Chains A and B, each alone.
Chain A
Amino acid sequence: MVGIECLVLGAGQEVGKSCVIVSFGGKRIMFDCGMHMGYLDQRRYPDFSRIPDSSDFTKSLTCIIITHFHLDHIGALPYFTEVCGYDGPIYMTYPTKALAPLMLEDYRKVMVDRRGEEEQFTSEHIATCLKKVTAVDLKQSIKVDDDLEIRAYYAGHVIGAAMFYAKVKDSALVYTGDYNMTPDRHLGAASIDKFLHLDLVITESTYATTVRDSKYAREREFLKVVHECVGKGGKVLIPTFALGRAQELCILLDDYWERMNLKDIPIYFSAGLTLQANMYYKMLIGWTSQKIKDSYATRNAFDFKHVRSFERSMLNAPGPCVLFATPGMISGGFSLEVFKQWAPSEMNLVTLPGYCVAGTIGHKLISGKATKIKIDRETEVDVRCKIHQLSFSPHTDSKGIMDLVKFLSPKHVILVHGEKPKMATLKGKISSELGIKCYDPANNDVVHIPSSQYVKVDASEAFVHKCINPNPKHFESKADNDSDMDPKDTASLPMKEIEYKRVAEGILVMDKTKRPKAVHQNELLAMLGVEEHRIEFA
């Protein structure tokens, strides 16, 4: 089979349930196996039945590659392996393997225990599924089988996120997953080798048209509002998800506290997932940003100096403080409880993530200047506190996508994980500015692209030797007219003109084995088995 066939099972012109099946060189790889958080029916999973030979997934797929632990990239994995019966190799990075069970278990609990839904997969399913996973390191080349080679590259985004390079014979491609081209306080920027000779890049395009400002402006805004609030004795509530943003903001604040000598004002972490997550971060230092890696020898940046753990009794203790609480969009749980207490005071501040799902309190707070918010039938909260919307995002912006595509210069680009109209704009930009063919398939579409094939040529030793070493002939002296010049007078150049000539000369032959070979001209006669004849004129 010549060419690459791409079947987009999820995240085609939408964000959610990332899943792309790529078939090339006789191999079939599934990149990511996510679930859509917006649906509760079968639409939440990719339509696995579209995979060719869907009766036996283990036979049909060569391997599964998971880029990072977010549910829209890994959520359907236990279902696919344990319920659908896939039993082949699965690859992900070490941190992803470590943190994925936390995420999956948390999700399962929310689904089953709180909402009382039908169980899609059990805790045992998660455990057995992750036992099948092979963990990989960055830039470690893995031979999945004789032909297929894969390699992970750092992607930023969240801890352990990776882009994957896959190569079968002469065709190669990169699946980026989610990535971030600018470093933040705790993670580095995505980085990948340049000369990969790619046929295809499948990239996310969450921010297909946005060009973001300097991250410092965002940080400055955030620190300013927080500092002003605690300076006046107010309390700051920062609802976040447990992994990622919480650590990022906490490092930012901890560092600022240190510099500004704000030792008297406590920063609290609400117990639970976040503390556990911090422990994982402490162990996964190798996957964080350069600064944290550098300072690790003296102090682990996740050993926050000013952070203490929170107890419920402190909720109404007097004096300023900063509190991190889950979940991020104040959709319930502890952050809602705190919000109820603190929102009525003008002195306090609530920061919200850049994106809140409709229906959550976070969304209500962002969308309008709500003064009263109904939490349930009986309770209504007076919102007098200040609201600050964070614009931190772990996704790259459109310039970052362009930079990466330009850097890798593949022959084709496929956009996934984005919104349709914006993707179309980016697609136009990539084809016009970079001259690279670009596609933005919808879910369940198939894209065929041609792949490259190279003809390998053997080279004889003499030929190679001639190519790599310079030869006195390369520095040929031109006939110089200035021979009568005073040689010591170096100022009146040139003394002698030198011309640099260098070419690799050889002869390409193909014998009965049909393997082409480049040989040095002196070898030709011997190779052809012909005697040398000289004609001399008397």
Chain B
Amino acid sequence: MEIERLVWEKCDSELSFYTNINSSDQNNLRCLKALASIRTLIVNSSTSDETISLVLETLVRILQHDQDYIHHHVLKLLSDLALCGDISRTTIFDTVYAYALRRKDASSLTAEALEVIFTTVEQCHGFAELSTSYEFNENLFLLLCSSNVVSVRSWIILNAKWFNVGTCCLVTVFLGFMSDTYPYVRKAALDGLVNLKELVNVKKRELIESCYDRAVELLLDTNECVRSAAVRVVSEWGRVLATLYNEVGDKGWFDGVFIQVCAMVRDTSVEVRTEAFSSLGQMKLVSEDLLLQTLSKKITIQIKKRKKIDLCTSKKFDLPASNVAGVFVHGLEDEFSEVRKSSCISLGKLTILYVHFAEEALNLLMDMLNDDTTEVRLQCLQTMYHMGTSDCLKVQQLHMHMFLSTLVDSNTLIRCATRKVLRLMKPTNLDMFNSAINGLLTNLESYAEIEPSCEGELRIDKARVAAILVLAIAASLTHEQHTSSILRRILTSAIPFLGRISYSLRDVMSQDTLFAYLSYCSRFLHSPIAEIFGQEEHCFSMLEDAPNHYSTEITKHVTPLRQISYGTSENHWQDNSWDPSHTFSLQEYQQKLTFAQKEATHAIGLVLKIVAETWPLIKSGCMDEVHKALRSCKEELATVSVEYHESAAGLLAFAYHYVRSIKLLGKVWMHFYPQRKFIGSRTGLLDLLVEKLDMNLRRMRYGFCGFKLEEELHILEFILLIYVLRLSNSDTCCRPTILKRLRATLSCVEHLCKKGSIKLSNFARELNSFCQEESSNDDGSYYAFSSKRSIKLFSLKQIVFGEKLKHIKAELSVPDNDSENPLPFIAGFPAAISFEIALHNVCSEDRLWLKMMVEEHTQYVFLSFDKHKDSDCLKKFALSVPFYTTPKAASFSLRACIGKECLFDDVQMAKGLGGPKHELTYLCNDKEVYFVIQS
């Protein structure tokens, strides 16, 4: 505070002294120094409001003096002030507006003054905010347009939208500027024209035409930036004109504009070429012969005979159709990958127009798969994919060699994209089909890509495809016995994914059947599945040495499967549903269970790992990638089957929560560290998100038991992070509560660390010291807390979650009640509800509550279940509960759910209703109970 005052006083005295006397270089320098110090005051967020308003006063005062030489700096400071302070922007706006009007010239200072208003409005509010008291009229606009300062001229073009000027006038002004002596003004004018969306308003066709003509002339400008802007104008406005002329029956225009743009693809500038090609992609209604000519450098007779197109504008341009010859050949052969990429995209867009053209274009595109840049190859495959989706991908035998070779490309992305295209491809004959299958098999052989990738998807496109492929291979194994000819690895890598494969085949067979079958098949392998699960060798060695009894049993299972592969009747095997426990010996069944569970745990572990890996992505703000990865993680989880395994089910439920938490964290993170500088005030949404995240984390913490020490620490640190995030945002916090929770959680962490003699993480340590400081000075000034620093210290570690996790959950039901069969009640009297409750994995220390809500009214009932001594993991009982405050209504519905008290949260709910003392974590979804008044 003291320093702030000193700085300000020094600045103020210097400024008031030097701005009152004549300028000299020395004075100038001192003024500038003082202004620089003022700037530090402005940008420092801890400067007091008092000082800020003094600064504002002084700046306003200086603007009223005639010393032009520092006005530029003062305006800049005002702009900063308007952007970062909370002070009244109206004062600033009034000042600079008056200043601009007073100057009455077209100097850069006038423009800068207006710029203060424009940038502030743009960045802080929105268009509508600007009050009507400031008038930016046509005269002011034209005054600035005639400025002899180049920067003002290009500035006015860019900011034309702020002025109340008619489109016609605007277009005319732009047209004028297109002949400016300075290239950047010309470019700005062209850009301005492209951005004029309401072209339709310009009723005068002559005006559009003269703009078009001028743009065509500028295609030959000496500056490349002007040429590339001109290409855009020619293409955009050309299309507008062409549509206008098309309405009156003149169709030549589309071709004309196309030829015009084609003339630019041999430009020396990369920028212009790229622009030209992307413009070509926008063209519509171009005649087919022209398009076909773009694919060949040799000029066809048709094109030679073609009349020259005369576009009837004010000027005539030479538009020989031969311009288009080989345009795309040149584009795809270009030295620069951006040009090649751009022409690839455009070519793809144009293929929708004509079937024959699409076929020819594909010939060129196929060759692009041999490009030396991965980016271009990928784009090429994407283009083919788009062609496939619009049904114009006609791959021929000729292409297959080139195309299939990309299946063994060393780049994963390329292989993946190729398979995507392959899915859309319709092979026209058996040969092609065969080579495609061979290609896919080679692909599998070289890269066993059934493993989940970092995005968590099954790389062989669909789990189902993979599963059927596995079956097919297995079938041929049992059939032919030529085991050496089949790649063993394919099958062995299939077995660990038994769960997933069986999941994707769930409509045709049970997991057990499949397991039996695959085990049977694996007998033909040189060394069985044990290769992969070495430690479990004994399980399978038994299978190997199995007495005949087992073999025959298994063969019995296999026969129907073999019939599937050979296409016998479906009913036969569908009717045969075996209960595995009958056909398997108990021992074998147990083995199978452990095996399947291992697999499920492994799969979930992989997903959790991927989820944890998204943390750096979230931190760097790549939310698209994060969402993509999380989405596929979720899909992946959906394929994990945990039918018989309690512990795996717990882990699975946990994984779902975990994925969800990370997703929410990503969203919250975007609010705190947005990519763009200014994000609208969406704090309401943020509150909601943080609340959701908090709830989710609490579910993770309290809804499971059997955590290991590290696991619990991991979750606790996560929770701490949320508190820190909440603290750092002054809008969202109810600070004392959060602090209290933070302290509580922190002490839990400390306790755990002590218990397991684990070192406290940097993040926790930083928070600890912060908490201590906080408690020592309770004067409510919490600026000292550098949340950013502590957040930087946080990192989401990868933790392997154990199998011992148990999901604490409840099932709540009210028998014989739904919206059709409501329970009777008498308004104002208590109504009895008989619940059936099942509790999983609840231990005796847990304090559970039944919560019932009708609109605002909430009633809690404590569940004591000591007397229900069922098995440890599952408690079932019925409970009859009165609901007291029935509303005075003809009917109502009540929402009930079961919650567990969060004992470690040191926050007590101050409600005198006899409800829970701590917050609740809900163990089940809300159950609705319906009531109707008793008649």
Contact = CB atoms under 8 A, between A and B. Distances in A.
Interface in A235-278: 251, 255-256, 258-261
A472 B142 contact: yes
Interface stretch (A7-15, A46-54, A219-227, A512-520): A219-227
Contact of B168 (A211, A470, A493): A493
A467 interface: yes
A259 B169 contact: no
A502 B176 contact: yes
B367 interface: yes
A496 B138 contact: yes
A216 B268 contact: no
Interface in B169-213: 169, 172-173, 175-176, 179-182, 201-203
A183 interface: yes
Interface residues of A, number: 57
A211 B333 contact: no
A189 interface: yes
Interface in B146-170: 146-148, 153, 164-169
Contacts of B373: 291
A227 B405 CA distance: 10
Nearest to B409: A259
B368 interface: yes
B408 interface: yes
A220 B402 contact: yes
Contacts of A496: 138, 166, 169
Interface string A488-500: 0011011111111
Given A211-B298, A493-B201, A291 B372 contact: yes
Given A223-B370, A399-B325, A289 B166 contact: no
B675 interface: no
Contacts of A189: 334-335
Contacts of A291: 335, 337, 372-373
Contacts of B168: 493-494, 497-498
A490 B370 contact: no
A290 B367 contact: no
A45 B138 CA distance: 74
A290 B411 contact: no
Contact of A470 (B169, B176, B222, B329): B176
Interface string A203-221: 0000000011111110110
Interface in A466-513: 467-472, 474-475, 487, 490-491, 493-500, 502
A389 interface: no
Q: Please classify how large the interface on chain B is, using the bins under 10, 10 to 19, 20 to 34, 35 or more.
A: 35 or more
Contacts of B146: 470-472, 474-475
Nearest to B401: A224
A391 interface: no
Contact of B176 (A193, A258, A475): A475
A502 B172 contact: no
Contact of A493 (B203, B266, B326): B203
A468 B182 CA distance: 8
A537 interface: no
A188 B147 CA distance: 44
A194 interface: yes
A433 B368 CA distance: 32
A185 interface: yes
Looking at A227, A491, A498, A499, the one whose CB has the most chain B CB atoms below 10 A away is: A498
A500 B176 contact: yes
B877 interface: no
Interface string B666-702: 0000000000000000000000000000000000000
A214 B298 CA distance: 11
Contacts of B180: 470
Contacts of A497: 168-169, 172
A138 B874 CA distance: 83
B167 A493 contact: yes
A219 B138 CA distance: 61
B370 A219 contact: yes
Contacts of A147: none
A470 B333 contact: no
A188 B339 CA distance: 14
Interface in B731-764: none
A262 to B, nearest CB: 10
Given A192-B268, A495-B166, A475 B297 contact: no
Given A471-B146, A475-B142, A499 B333 contact: no
Q: Give the 9 A-B CB pairs with smallest separation, nearest first.
A: A216-B367, A183-B335, A500-B176, A469-B148, A494-B168, A472-B146, A495-B166, A468-B181, A498-B172
Given A475-B172, A500-B175, 9 more contacts: A185-B372, A193-B268, A211-B297, A214-B329, A259-B410, A475-B146, A475-B176, A496-B166, A498-B172
